[in-house]
Structure 1
Amino acid sequence: MSPLFRRKPAQTPQTPQAPQSSQYSENHLVTLIRKPGCHLCDDAQLVVEKVCGDLGVPWEGKDITQDPRLHDEYWEQIPVVLVDGRQHTFWRVNEERLRKALTE
């Protein structure tokens, strides 16, 4: 029979995929250093939440106004994202770059 006349199998509705396994969670920790009222910090948090949620990687937020050491080190760069305690980026968080850093 011609491929044009073959009946396609009934498609089942797609269910959203669950986040990938937490294979990365044991290897990484993402830290978002931010301050209250910072719109760039809010944007960065959305990216961090999405990427870490997708990959099952734990993340934590730290308020720069509550930690003098963080304040002295990062005040002019917030928001700052650390991966495993090392600075990954600041000001703007690129989703693809963060995802790549966590999966390599």
Structure 2
Amino acid sequence: MLNIFKVLEVLIYPFLKGEFEGVTQARVEEEFKIQTNGIEFSNESDKTMKKYGEQRTVSFDGKKLVMSYHIKLSDNRIYFIYNEEDDCIYIGHSGEHLNVAG
């Protein structure tokens, strides 16, 4: 788990901040998988977000944050978002896989 959060910090965080100009999310997903020995991260589909977005929405300091990014750990997920306003990554759910549209 420590390595997953380390790679989140050194790879995904700067990517979401826009520090990797010209690097695609697909490339970051691939590198994340390499650096975490097979663990994946991705976005939820638009279809899932339209149908189950509320499950991925949390309130923090009176603001609603929608967590579409997630790290896949077997049957569990860590849902998170980068909040540009605070320059932070927030974890909104860690546990069982939430509902998906497909």
TM-score by length of 1: 0.31
User: Could you say which structure has the greater relative contact order, defined with CA pairs below 8 angstroms and 6 or more residues apart?
Assistant: 1
Report which of the two has the higher share of strand.
Answer: 2
Q: Which has the larger radius of gyration?
A: 1
TM-score by length of 2: 0.31
